[in-house]
Structure 1
Amino acid sequence: MRFADFPFLRYLPFILAGIFWGQTGWSPGLESLSLLLGLLWLAYLIVISIQLKSRIAFNPSPLAYLALIAFGALLVQNKQVHSEFSPSISNAESYLAEVTMYDQQKPNSFENLLEVKSVQINGGWQNSQGKVLIYHRSDNPLVPGQILLVKKKPEGIERPKNPHEFDYRQYLARQGIYYRQFLGKDFLVIDSVGNSGFGYFLVHLRHTIGEMLKTKIPDPNSSQIALALLLGQKKELDPTIREAYTQAGVMHILAVSGLHVGIIYALFILILKPLKLKKDKARIYLLFVILIIWLYAFLTGLSPSVVRAATMFSLLTFGQMRERRPSIYNILAFSAILMITINPDVIYEVGFQLSYLAVLGIVIIQPLILNLWLPRYKVLEYIWQLTSVSLAAQLVTFPLSLYYFHVFPTYFLLGNLLILPLAFLIMQVGVPLMIFGWIPFLGDGLGLVLSWLIWLQNWIAEAIRLIPGGKMDRLTMDFPGMILVWGMLLIIASWEYGSKRKLTWMGLFLLFVWAGTQLYQELKVPSKELIIYQGKKSQLFDFSISGDVYSWNQGIEEGEISYSVDPNRVKNHWPQISKSMSGIQDSTGGLEFLEAEFKLFPKEEKLRFSAAPNSINFWSEGNWRALPISDSLLIDSIAYRILF
């Protein structure tokens, strides 16, 4: 097996390098990159032409790889230039916008997404474009295609105030959403446009199928799971049910993914053999299967894992039609390049990263695990195959899961062994229900069977949740740790094929680099550190001294602590519940803390230090930035880090 045999796998790293380059401040603009790309391809063609005519050994590969890098940067610049965003929305006195989705129920309101069409500035109207995420309390639900008149200026989305807090602004920006607004009932529905396009057809179809599932499945908890598992609509999931599936290690089955596409693909392919179709008719049937797969992908919202699976199964099916078996690595790389070309920001989506890692783990690691034991009986063989798939996927994805979510499900093997077969049965019943649910008796019968199967699945997930020690949380892994794990897995996978001497040295090198980064991080930990977190109305102080952490809460609520304060505590391996600082009020109205080296004046929102600190930093754009050193500090609307 040679790396040269996988062309798309060779192209992918250069396109990714170009995307990272295109997102830096020193990347050329769209016109310059277009010119550079054209010149590189022209030079490539000239070299090829000279090579063919004179038979002189020129290697044109560097030019091609440089062109791929330029292509990656061009994708980024093109998206930035043509992004659906107009700064004029920020200055709008009023705006007209089109409703693009059905309402999503929130605790105290309904969520919807508007597409801005025009804005009013200084009394005049002008065309504009952009997306506004709204929350309303209208008595009448909003329907896609309605035109709203909003007599308010939408609000920009704030950047995260605190260290390592989830960047909701960036998350929405990658979906083209730069504004949000609470409307209440303060808007008018003034018109409705024709919604005969394919996009509206899918929105209405998804909504119709979802409402039908709710009516045909009698158990409310079962209908929630059906909407998530079949249509990818997870926003209505009960938190208790969500937690049960998380602890069982099977939350991935509730996010429509490659697993679901694979089940639908298998369902239709299994029917092919009993039909005994001739070649021409079999090819027509396979084209129909590809059409069904992509219709399901569009219906469920084109998530990265679904697009990846739909592309892969389409290419496999085309290979089957031509009686060929294409390389899984080429298919994976091609599907990734296709998705990146459509949206270069997709590489930052967790679903995209986990999806490709899981498939790579199954392709590379699962055969090694499977060969460790050869069961004598069919039942044991089936269980071992399912176990090996779960282990392989978990081994490769757990570093990224710890990096993002800081949780590891202890009983993931038990959950996968018991719940995945049930999920397969649920899809076997659920897909026919989605198609034939409108038929009175058939739809009711399928709904009852599906409700019972999902009830059983929920019961198993809840039973696993009640087992003590169901999850290990507050775990974390940095980038060097992830590289170490993935590198070691690759070394193990290559052990029988490569040079054991080189692989051993590579493993030792990875261990040395990882140990060096850990030592460096440990040496960087200050002996005394004060973090000031900003809440909506007040602050919270974390003071770390020689490994002990003391806190003082000025009034941040518990729910706010979980997303504003806890991410930094997890990152620094600090306890979730720290010791309380002892504050003593003096005659000047200040609070003096016995454990710390500063005094707080709450009314003035000011800190005064006993001695000038070594450094004062504020949190901005994902980094700590230095401030002039002083013996006092006004604690306003940003987070601070003070080192003593």
Structure 2
Amino acid sequence: MRFADFPFLRYLPFILIGVFIGQSNWSPSLMSLALALSLLWLGYLIVMVKLEKGKSKFQSSYLAYVALLVFGALLVQNRLAQTDFNTEILHSDSYLAEVTLYDQQKPNSFENLLAVKSILVDRVWKDAQVKVLIYHQNEQGLEPGQVLLVKKKPEQIPSPLNPLEFDYRQYLERQGIHFRQFLGKNYQVVDSARTSVFDYFLVRLRHEIGEMLKSKIPDENSAQIALALLLGQKKELDPTIREAYTQAGVMHILAVSGLHVGIIYALFILILKPLKMKKEKARVYLLFVILIIWLYAFLTGLSPSVVRAATMFSLLTFGQMREREPSIYNILAFSAILMITINPHVIYEVGFQLSYLAVLGIVMIQPLILNLWLPRHKVLEYIWQLTSVSVAAQLVTFPLSIYYFHVFPTYFLLGNLLILPLAFVIMQVGVPLMMLGWIPLLGEVLGWVLSWLIWLQNWIAEAIRVIPGGKLDRLTIDFAGMLVVWGMLLIIAAWEFGSKRKLTWIGLSILFLWAGFRFYSELQKPSRELIIYQGKKSQLLDFSVSGETYSWNQGLDGGEISYSVEPNRIHNQLAQFPTSLIAQELDSGKLEFISAGFTFDPTHKKLWFLAPPKLIYSWSEGQWVAMQTKDMLVVDSLAYRILF
């Protein structure tokens, strides 16, 4: 097995590096990159012509790889140019916008997405193309294609105030959404847009199938799971059910992914065997299977994992039609390049990262685990294969899961062994229900069967949830730690093919570098540190000294602490419930924290230091920014880090 046999796998790293370059502040402009790419390809063609005539010794591959780097950067700059938003809407008096989705129920309102078409600025209507995330309270609801007149301007989505807090603004920006607005009932439906039948066909079809599933499945909780499992609509999931599936380690079955596409693929391919079609008919049928897979991918919203799986199964099917078996590594890399070309920001989506890591783990690690034991009985062999797949996928994905979610499901293996086979059966009933549920009596029977199967699945997930020690939480790993884990797994995967001596030295070098990095990080930790977090109306103070954390909370509730404070506490391995920081209240209303060496005025949001601190940082645009050191600090709008 040679690396040169996987061309797309060789191209992918250069495109990824190019994407990171294009995302950086020092990236060349779109026109400069386009010109550079044109010159590189021209140079490549000239070199190739000379090579054919035997007049050149220059390696053409160098030009090709540089061109791939430029191509990756060009993708990002082109995407940024397309998503540049018009800030004039912030100065508008009114705007006209088209509804693009069906309403999503929220606790006190309905959420929807508007595509703005025109804005009124200084009594002049101007064309505009921006998206606004809205919340309204009209019980009649909105439908795709309606045109609204809104007589007030939206607001820009603010950046997070606290360190490592989820960046909702960045999350929406990557979807092209830069504004939000609470409308209540202050809008007017003025028209229905004259769109073609196909403009909102899939949106309407997804909505109609969802409503049909709700009507055919008698149990409400089962209907919620059916919407998530079959259509990827997880927003209506009950928190208790969500927690049960998370602790069972099977939350991935509720996010429409490659697993679901694989089940649908298997369902239609298994039909082919008993029919024993001739070659020509088999090819037509396989084209029909590809069409069904992509229809399902579009129907469920084209999530990264679904697109990856649909692309892979399509290529595998084309290979079957040509009686060839393409390399799984080439297929994986090609599907990734295709997705990055369409949207370079997809590499930042957790679903994209977890999906590819899981498949890589199954392809590289699962055979090694499978060979550890060769069961003699069919049932044991099936259980062992499912076990090896689950363990391989978990080994490769757990560093990333901990990095993002800080949780590890202890009983993931039990959950996968019991729930995954049941999910396969549920899909075999659910897909026919989606296609044939409109038929009287048949839809009711399929809905009842599906409801009972999902009830059983929920019961198993809940039974696993109540087992003590179901999850390890508040776990943390840094980027270097992830690289160490993946490096060791690669060494294990290559152990039988490479030089064991070289691999051992590489492994020891990785561990030595990581230990040195950890030692350096520990030396850099300050002995005394104060973090000031911002809530909606108040502040929370964490004071750390010699590894102990003390906290003072002015009024942040549990939800705010979980969302705004906990990410930084977990990252820095601070206590979840710190010791109270004792303050003495002065006659002026100020609070004197004698042990910490500062005084705080909660009314005017001012902080005085008994002795000037060494460094002061403010949290801005996702990083700590150094400020001028002074004896007094106003803490009314940002998070601050003070080192003593």
Matched, 1:198 2:198: yes
Shift of 1:84: 6.0
Shift of 1:594: 3.6
User: What is the distance in 2 between the residues matched to 1:510 and 1:493?
Assistant: 16
Query: 1:358 corresponds to which residue?
Result: 358
SS of match in other structure, 1:637? coil
The residue correspondences of 1:448-597 to structure 2 (distance < 5 A) are 448-597=448-597
The residue correspondences of 1:263-302 to structure 2 (distance < 5 A) are 263-302=263-302
SS of match in other structure, 1:164? coil
User: What is the distance in 2 between the residues matched to 1:56 and 1:140?
Assistant: 72
Query: 2:240 corresponds to which residue?
Result: 240
User: What is the distance in 1 between the residues matched to 2:632 and 2:594?
Assistant: 18
Say which is worse superposed, 88-97 or 392-401, in terms of deviation: 88-97
User: What is the distance in 2 between the residues matched to 1:265 and 1:587?
Assistant: 74
Query: 1:208 corresponds to which residue?
Result: 208
Deviations 1:244-302 (A, max 9, x none): 00000000000000000000000000000111111000000000000000000000000
Shift of 1:426: 0.3
The one-letter code sitting in structure 2 at the alignment partner of 1:542 is: D
Q: TM-score, normalised by structure 1?
A: 0.99
CA RMSD of aligned residues (A): 0.8
User: What is the distance in 2 between the residues matched to 1:186 and 1:306?
Assistant: 38
Shift of 1:56: 3.9
User: What is the distance in 2 between the residues matched to 1:97 and 1:191?
Assistant: 10
User: What is the distance in 2 between the residues matched to 1:370 and 1:523?
Assistant: 43
The one-letter code sitting in structure 2 at the alignment partner of 1:77 is: Q
Shift of 1:580: 0.5
Query: In 2, are the aligned partners of 1:134 and 1:181 still within 8 Å (CA)?
Result: yes
The residue correspondences of 1:594-633 to structure 2 (distance < 5 A) are 594-633=594-633
Shift of 1:316: 0.1
The one-letter code sitting in structure 2 at the alignment partner of 1:99 is: V
User: What is the distance in 2 between the residues matched to 1:420 and 1:270?
Assistant: 19
User: What is the distance in 2 between the residues matched to 1:167 and 1:197?
Assistant: 36
Shift of 1:604: 2.2
Say which is worse superposed, 27-36 or 345-354, in terms of deviation: 27-36
Deviations 1:500-548 (A, max 9, x none): 1110010011101111111111111111000000011010000001111
Query: 1:65 corresponds to which residue?
Result: 65
The one-letter code sitting in structure 2 at the alignment partner of 1:334 is: F
User: What is the distance in 1 between the residues matched to 2:125 and 2:633?
Assistant: 46
User: What is the distance in 2 between the residues matched to 1:86 and 1:349?
Assistant: 25
SS of match in other structure, 2:139? coil
SS of match in other structure, 2:513? helix
User: What is the distance in 1 between the residues matched to 2:51 and 2:102?
Assistant: 59
SS of match in other structure, 1:11? helix
Say which is worse superposed, 14-23 or 310-319, in terms of deviation: 14-23
Matched, 1:309 2:309: yes
Say which is worse superposed, 607-616 or 190-199, in terms of deviation: 190-199
Query: In 2, are the aligned partners of 1:544 and 1:550 still within 8 Å (CA)?
Result: yes
Query: 1:148 corresponds to which residue?
Result: 148
The one-letter code sitting in structure 1 at the alignment partner of 2:86 is: S
Deviations 1:184-243 (A, max 9, x none): 000000000134343400000000000000000000000000000000000000000000
User: What is the distance in 2 between the residues matched to 1:322 and 1:84?
Assistant: 44
Query: 2:405 corresponds to which residue?
Result: 405
The one-letter code sitting in structure 1 at the alignment partner of 2:102 is: Y
The one-letter code sitting in structure 2 at the alignment partner of 1:321 is: M
SS of match in other structure, 1:440? coil
Query: 1:83 corresponds to which residue?
Result: 83
Query: 1:257 corresponds to which residue?
Result: 257
The one-letter code sitting in structure 1 at the alignment partner of 2:254 is: L
Query: In 2, are the aligned partners of 1:263 and 1:427 still within 8 Å (CA)?
Result: yes
SS of match in other structure, 1:418? helix
Matched, 1:395 2:395: yes
User: What is the distance in 2 between the residues matched to 1:245 and 1:557?
Assistant: 27
Shift of 1:557: 1.4
User: What is the distance in 1 between the residues matched to 2:43 and 2:521?
Assistant: 46
SS of match in other structure, 2:38? helix
The one-letter code sitting in structure 1 at the alignment partner of 2:465 is: R
Query: 1:97 corresponds to which residue?
Result: 97
Deviations 1:49-95 (A, max 9, x none): 11111354331000000111111111011111111622222222110
User: What is the distance in 2 between the residues matched to 1:604 and 1:213?
Assistant: 55
Say which is worse superposed, 440-449 or 621-630, in terms of deviation: 621-630
User: What is the distance in 1 between the residues matched to 2:315 and 2:432?
Assistant: 25
Query: In 2, are the aligned partners of 1:195 and 1:201 still within 8 Å (CA)?
Result: no
User: What is the distance in 1 between the residues matched to 2:589 and 2:302?
Assistant: 58
SS of match in other structure, 1:395? helix
Query: In 2, are the aligned partners of 1:132 and 1:179 still within 8 Å (CA)?
Result: yes
Query: 1:4 corresponds to which residue?
Result: 4
The one-letter code sitting in structure 1 at the alignment partner of 2:603 is: K
Query: 2:109 corresponds to which residue?
Result: 109
The one-letter code sitting in structure 1 at the alignment partner of 2:260 is: H
The one-letter code sitting in structure 2 at the alignment partner of 1:377 is: H
The one-letter code sitting in structure 2 at the alignment partner of 1:585 is: E
User: What is the distance in 2 between the residues matched to 1:472 and 1:39?
Assistant: 54
Query: 1:49 corresponds to which residue?
Result: 49
Say which is worse superposed, 378-387 or 627-636, in terms of deviation: 627-636
User: What is the distance in 1 between the residues matched to 2:414 and 2:425?
Assistant: 18
Shift of 1:139: 2.3
User: What is the distance in 1 between the residues matched to 2:217 and 2:139?
Assistant: 26
User: What is the distance in 1 between the residues matched to 2:197 and 2:550?
Assistant: 58
User: What is the distance in 1 between the residues matched to 2:36 and 2:201?
Assistant: 41
Query: In 1, are the aligned partners of 2:105 and 2:111 still within 8 Å (CA)?
Result: yes
The residue correspondences of 1:367-382 to structure 2 (distance < 5 A) are 367-382=367-382
The one-letter code sitting in structure 1 at the alignment partner of 2:157 is: I
User: What is the distance in 2 between the residues matched to 1:73 and 1:235?
Assistant: 34
User: What is the distance in 1 between the residues matched to 2:460 and 2:595?
Assistant: 49
Query: 1:415 corresponds to which residue?
Result: 415
The one-letter code sitting in structure 2 at the alignment partner of 1:622 is: G
User: What is the distance in 2 between the residues matched to 1:588 and 1:27?
Assistant: 53
Shift of 1:589: 2.6
User: What is the distance in 2 between the residues matched to 1:626 and 1:193?
Assistant: 51
The one-letter code sitting in structure 1 at the alignment partner of 2:7 is: P
Query: 2:640 corresponds to which residue?
Result: 640
Shift of 1:603: 2.1
Query: In 1, are the aligned partners of 2:47 and 2:56 still within 8 Å (CA)?
Result: no
Query: 2:326 corresponds to which residue?
Result: 326
The one-letter code sitting in structure 2 at the alignment partner of 1:449 is: V
Distance 1:463 1:393, change over 3 A: same
Query: 1:136 corresponds to which residue?
Result: 136
User: What is the distance in 1 between the residues matched to 2:361 and 2:588?
Assistant: 63
SS of match in other structure, 1:565? helix
Query: In 2, are the aligned partners of 1:581 and 1:594 still within 8 Å (CA)?
Result: no
In the comparison of the two structures, how many residue pairs are matched? 644
Matched, 1:432 2:429: no
Q: TM-score, normalised by structure 2?
A: 0.99
User: What is the distance in 2 between the residues matched to 1:433 and 1:190?
Assistant: 37
User: What is the distance in 2 between the residues matched to 1:120 and 1:260?
Assistant: 46
SS of match in other structure, 2:96? strand
User: What is the distance in 2 between the residues matched to 1:315 and 1:361?
Assistant: 20
Shift of 1:145: 0.3
